[in-house]
Amino acid sequence: MSVAPGRMFPMTDATALASQAAYTEAVATAARAAAAYYADGATPLDDDVYDQLVRAIESYETAHPEHVLPQSPTGKVAGGTASGDVPHSAPMLSLDNVFSVEELAAWAAGLERRLGRPVAAWCVEPKLDGLAVAARYRAGRLTRLITRGDGLAGEDISHAGGSILGLPETLAEPVDAELRGEVLLTQDQFEQANTTRTAHGAAPFVNPRNGAAGTLRAKDRPYRIELTFFAYGAQGLAGGLAHSELLGRLAELGANTAASTAAQPRRCETVAEVQARIEEIARIRAELPFGIDGIVVKADAAADQELAGSGSRAPRWAIAYKLPAVHRVTRLLAVEWNVGRTGVIAPRAVLEPVVVDGATVTYATLHNPADITRRGLLIGDQVSVHRAGDVIPRVEAPLVQLRTGAEQPIEFPEVCPRCGDAIDTSQQRWRCVRGRGCQAVASIRYAAGRDQLDIEGLGGTRAVQLVDRGLVADVADLFLLTREQLLTLDRMGATSSDNLIAAIEAAKAQPLHRVFCALGVRGTGRSMSRRIAQHFGSMAAIRAAGVDELAEVDGIGPEKAAVVVAELAELAPVLDKLALLGVGVGEAVTARPGAGAGAGAEAVAEGPLAGQAVVVTGTMSGPLAQLSRTEVNELIERAGGKASSSVSKRTSLLVAGEKAGSKRAKAEELGVRVLNPEEFAELVGEFLN
Ligand SMILES: NC(=O)c1ccc[n+]([C@@H]2O[C@H](COP(=O)([O-])OP(=O)(O)OC[C@H]3O[C@@H](n4cnc5c(N)ncnc54)[C@H](O)[C@@H]3O)[C@@H](O)[C@H]2O)c1
Ligand SMILES: [Zn+2]
């Protein structure tokens, strides 16, 4: 992640409030969201959106101070929605925010103007994404634990004291003091918490922060959830310590601090150094074992802090440099089950697209079936999605409070979705019992298919037999099969053996594009294979091509080209065998630069509609609904057919939608085959876009 100058994510400009009515509504929305956020975390707004809203409210209030509403969240700790009955020894404040390095520099300059001198030094540390607590110690023993509340008084949560790592029951010295810091769930603790909760029939936590809040408040739970404490402040310890010295002192007393992590607090002399450290922490954010939602910059010296003082909501000597939210709420649309090369069957969430940390996320990992159960997910749920840096996006949990009742259970496969054989569910990661053989069966079936090598007599069960008997492990092995070997298979007589051998022999002469297609390289269906074959002219040339050359083929971008190159490299042993056997060398089509998508002469002779005269009538539906009549006609031509407008003896096929009328009657009279738009779309599926 880079924090180069400029805004890291869209800010308030677009959401400036134009009128008092808009302001009133914004205040109401923010107040509702904050109330939900500090109560149970079930807010429909993402943090970024909430922050933007509050900024817009603030700027409106600056311009119209006479119109400020009393329920406005600005200037208040927790937006004024939290409270408590244990008074704090000194206010527990929030932090003001900046969103760019320019704003940070302006804030630092403002602080120095206020002080009338340069800030002696800064301390830069992670902004831990949890909840602030005050821990009171008497003679070194923990006596009371209190939430931040409204900043002036909080709730007593002493019951939680025993399950917080890094918050000692007894300090290393018998001091009377109050430690302040953040309580959070690390990623591991969050996963563990949700396993425990779902096992007890409780709803999983939406995200670690929400989980920490719920856990601190809860009493009398039948299970224990472990949390972690990071100290960053204190009351009642010897005064005059710089912040960085105080952190050292807290660690000496036995409390956990961020110094124990890769995002260690660092003392910086200049704002440039501060920016560099911010950038470092932002860069390692995704690898930290706990969540951070920003980086806190503090004036280090006690004298600077004292002179700057505090406002009602936040100290003036510290600022939070916010990072883009890595948690987003979106809808779970479906779960797909993909079988990997080794037969592992992995679920994948299909999401309503959402931008998280700068990238659009449409898929997220669900790890394994137990993971789905642990999270208690349903199709249609609003879910919290996490993504940071290059980390694979993951679904964290459903927001059960937002369910409508229309959610559906997730169906788990009963047989391998690729080969149809049984699933081994004895491990967390489900596997096809066929293991690597699953891939072999699937790839051989695919290779023998009508649009590839077109080997009749090599359907599903035959492919399974051949793989199970160890006769075939890849496409090339097919061409080494002997009649004698085939005769040893169940239900395989002399005639079927001869026929299959003949079909395989014939397949040797299949043109290059079909042999290439038979390899099953990802993203290269029938028409793409044709284009690649036409472009390069021989398998040797295709294999010799690099990413750049492949990317020149119509329809292959650099990313797809890289996939093709990588998969071909993996297929090298198969390709070597095929070359030795002389498969895929027949009828090499000469390279035709610029040949379009399946539009060449070959395409016309090859598609599912090859040589057919097709008429379209009525209203198109299904996948064809979006197409104009011209587009449907183009589709027919791409698929090898000829589009015509009237039904006659020469018509091969009529595609009849709703309100088809006289053409349909005539076709039926002439005995012409009639398909509805859906059936037709299936027939020409591959050519649809
Ligand atoms: N999504 C929503 O609807 C919604 C609603 C309300 C609030 N929020 C989120 O909550 C934020 C406000 O929460 P907040 O009031 O807790 O303030 P905050 O999280 O913006 O910052 C203040 C808090 O940071 C914490 N903190 C972490 N590391 C720290 C460190 N090293 N030093 C000092 N403090 C540290 C402390 O708990 C402190 O109270 C908003 O910015 C928004 O992102 C979201
Ligand atoms: Zn399988």
CATH number at residue 52: 1.10.287.610
User: What six digits make up the tokens of 591?
Assistant: 């390279």
Distance 211 CA to ligand 1 centre (A): 15
Ligand having the closest approach to the CA of 416: 2
CB of 127 shorter than 6 A to ligand 1: yes
Ligand having the closest approach to the CA of 423: 2
Q: 343 and 315: one domain?
A: no
Return the number of other C-beta atoms located less than 10 Å from residue 165's C-beta: 13
Distance 94 CA to ligand 1 centre (A): 7
Residue 372: strand, helix, or coil: helix
Shortest-distance Cα residue to atom 39 of ligand 1: 94
CB of 129 shorter than 6 A to ligand 1: no
Ligand having the closest approach to the CA of 329: 1
Shortest-distance Cα residue to atom 30 of ligand 1: 127
CB of 542 shorter than 6 A to ligand 1: no
Quick one: pLDDT at residue 484?
A: 92
Asked if 151 contacts 272 with a C-beta cutoff of 8 angstroms, the reply is: no
Shortest-distance Cα residue to atom 29 of ligand 1: 127
Comparing C-alpha atoms, which of 374, 19, 37, 35 is closest to residue 195? 374
- 7 is a domain residue: no
- Binding-site entries: 47-51, 94-95, 125, 148, 182, 298, 322, 416, 419, 438
In a 13 Å sphere around the CA of 474, the CA atoms on its Cβ side amount to 13
Quick one: pLDDT at residue 659?
A: 81
User: What six digits make up the tokens of 425?
Assistant: 């569910």
Distance 468 CA to ligand 2 centre (A): 12
Of 43, 46, 47, 125, best ligand 1 pocket probe by most atoms within 8 Å of the beta carbon: 47
User: What six digits make up the tokens of 150?
Assistant: 């409204």
Q: 270 and 375: one domain?
A: no
Among 396, 414, 434, the domain-final residue is 434
- 468 is a domain residue: yes
Residue 261, domain CATH: 3.30.470.30
Beta 141-147 vs 153-154: how paired, if at all? unpaired
Please provide the DSSP assignment of 537-575 as one string: -SHHHHHH--HHHHHTSTT--HHHHHHHHHHHHHTHHHH
Quick one: pLDDT at residue 238?
A: 77
Q: 128 and 177: one domain?
A: yes
Residue 525, domain CATH: 1.10.150.20
Asked if 604 contacts 576 with a C-beta cutoff of 8 angstroms, the reply is: no
Of 12, 81, 127, best ligand 1 pocket probe by most atoms within 8 Å of the beta carbon: 127
CB of 229 shorter than 6 A to ligand 1: no
CB of 327 shorter than 6 A to ligand 1: no
**Relative orientation angle of helices 47-63 and 20-39, to the nearest 10 degrees:** 140
- 428 is a domain residue: yes
CB of 33 shorter than 6 A to ligand 1: yes
What span, in angstroms and rounded, lies between the C-alpha atoms of 71 and 510? 76
Among 602, 636, 667, the domain-final residue is 602
| ipTM confidence score | 0.95
- pTM summary value: 0.67
CB of 124 shorter than 6 A to ligand 1: no
Q: ∠409-411-414 over CA atoms, to 5°?
A: 150
Quick one: pLDDT at residue 231?
A: 98
- 496 is a domain residue: yes
Determine the distance from the C-alpha atom of residue 278 to the mean position of all C-alpha atoms in its chain, rounded to a whole number: 25
Residue 297: strand, helix, or coil: strand
Q: Which residues contact 677 (CB under 8 A, 6 or more apart)?
A: 620, 621, 622, 623, 624, 625, 655, 657
Q: 183 and 284: one domain?
A: yes
CB of 191 shorter than 6 A to ligand 1: no
Residue 654, domain CATH: 3.40.50.10190
What span, in angstroms and rounded, lies between the C-alpha atoms of 215 and 147? 12
Ligand having the closest approach to the CA of 125: 1
Asked if 309 contacts 316 with a C-beta cutoff of 8 angstroms, the reply is: yes
Phi, psi of 327 (to 5 degrees): -110, 130
Burial class (CB in 10 A: 0-12, 13-18, 19+), 647: buried
Comparing C-alpha atoms, which of 505, 675, 502, 497 is closest to residue 583? 505
Divide the 689 residues of the chain into consecutive groups of 10 and give the mean pLDDT of each group.
36 66 93 86 78 91 93 89 91 95 97 97 97 97 96 95 96 97 96 90 88 90 95 92 97 97 97 97 93 97 97 96 90 93 91 88 91 91 87 88 91 91 93 88 90 88 88 94 93 92 93 94 87 93 94 86 92 92 67 40 59 87 82 81 81 87 82 86 80
Asked if 621 contacts 658 with a C-beta cutoff of 8 angstroms, the reply is: yes
What span, in angstroms and rounded, lies between the C-alpha atoms of 55 and 366? 35
Q: 613 and 589: one domain?
A: no
Shortest-distance Cα residue to atom 35 of ligand 1: 127
What span, in angstroms and rounded, lies between the C-alpha atoms of 82 and 150? 5
Give per-residue pLDDT as tens, 285-298.
Answer: 989 999 999 999 99
Comparing C-alpha atoms, which of 125, 114, 94, 124 is closest to residue 271? 124
Q: Which of ligand 1's atoms lies nearest the C-alpha of 43?
A: 3
Ligand having the closest approach to the CA of 320: 1
Shortest-distance Cα residue to atom 17 of ligand 1: 94
What is the residue type of 292? I
CB of 357 shorter than 6 A to ligand 1: no
Q: Which of ligand 1's atoms lies nearest the C-alpha of 126?
A: 31
CB of 132 shorter than 6 A to ligand 1: yes
User: What six digits make up the tokens of 80?
Assistant: 């004024």
Asked if 457 contacts 503 with a C-beta cutoff of 8 angstroms, the reply is: yes
Distance 370 CA to ligand 2 centre (A): 20
What span, in angstroms and rounded, lies between the C-alpha atoms of 337 and 339? 7
What is the residue type of 495? T
Shortest-distance Cα residue to atom 22 of ligand 1: 94
Q: 285 and 137: one domain?
A: yes
Q: 141 and 270: one domain?
A: yes
Residues, the chain: 689
Asked if 395 contacts 364 with a C-beta cutoff of 8 angstroms, the reply is: yes
- Domain residues for 94? 86-322
Distance 414 CA to ligand 2 centre (A): 11
Which residues form the catalytic set? 127
Distance 408 CA to ligand 2 centre (A): 26
Phi, psi of 335 (to 5 degrees): -125, 130
Phi, psi of 673 (to 5 degrees): -65, 135
Q: Which of ligand 1's atoms lies nearest the C-alpha of 77?
A: 15
- Binding-site entries for NAD(+): 47-51, 94-95, 125, 148, 182, 298, 322
- 598 is a domain residue: yes
What span, in angstroms and rounded, lies between the C-alpha atoms of 146 and 155? 5
Return the number of other C-beta atoms located less than 10 Å from residue 216's C-beta: 21
Of 29, 37, 54, best ligand 1 pocket probe by most atoms within 8 Å of the beta carbon: 37
Scanning the structure block, which residue is given the tokens 């089950």?
337
CB of 430 shorter than 6 A to ligand 1: no
Ligand having the closest approach to the CA of 213: 1
User: What six digits make up the tokens of 536?
Assistant: 């390069």
Asked if 80 contacts 73 with a C-beta cutoff of 8 angstroms, the reply is: yes
Among 414, 434, 454, the domain-final residue is 434
Phi, psi of 650 (to 5 degrees): -80, -5
| Number of domains the chain contains | 6
- 261 is a domain residue: yes
Return the number of other C-beta atoms located less than 10 Å from residue 388's C-beta: 21
Comparing C-alpha atoms, which of 43, 29, 16 is closest to residue 73? 29
Asked if 518 contacts 475 with a C-beta cutoff of 8 angstroms, the reply is: yes
In a 13 Å sphere around the CA of 389, the CA atoms on its Cβ side amount to 14
Shortest-distance Cα residue to atom 15 of ligand 1: 78
User: What six digits make up the tokens of 655?
Assistant: 């595609």
Distance 606 CA to ligand 2 centre (A): 31
Asked if 481 contacts 472 with a C-beta cutoff of 8 angstroms, the reply is: yes
> Residue 234 belongs to what H/E stretch?
strand 227-235
- Binding-site entries for Zn(2+): 416, 419, 438
Of 182, 227, 243, 256, best ligand 1 pocket probe by most atoms within 8 Å of the beta carbon: 182
Q: 310 and 186: one domain?
A: yes
Q: 499 and 517: one domain?
A: no
CB of 190 shorter than 6 A to ligand 1: no
Q: 428 and 355: one domain?
A: yes
Report CA-CA distances (Å) from 680 to 274, 628, 645, 646, 648: 64, 15, 17, 18, 19
Asked if 370 contacts 425 with a C-beta cutoff of 8 angstroms, the reply is: no
Q: 157 and 17: one domain?
A: no
Shortest-distance Cα residue to atom 5 of ligand 1: 34
What is the residue type of 340? G
Asked if 154 contacts 300 with a C-beta cutoff of 8 angstroms, the reply is: no
What is the residue type of 93? L
Distance 553 CA to ligand 1 centre (A): 51
Q: 457 and 421: one domain?
A: no
Largest CA distance in the chain: 103
What span, in angstroms and rounded, lies between the C-alpha atoms of 278 and 107? 15
Determine the distance from the C-alpha atom of residue 190 to the mean position of all C-alpha atoms in its chain, rounded to a whole number: 18
Residue 99: strand, helix, or coil: coil
Residue 429, domain CATH: 2.40.50.140
- 5 is a domain residue: no
- 81 is a domain residue: no
Shortest-distance Cα residue to atom 43 of ligand 1: 47
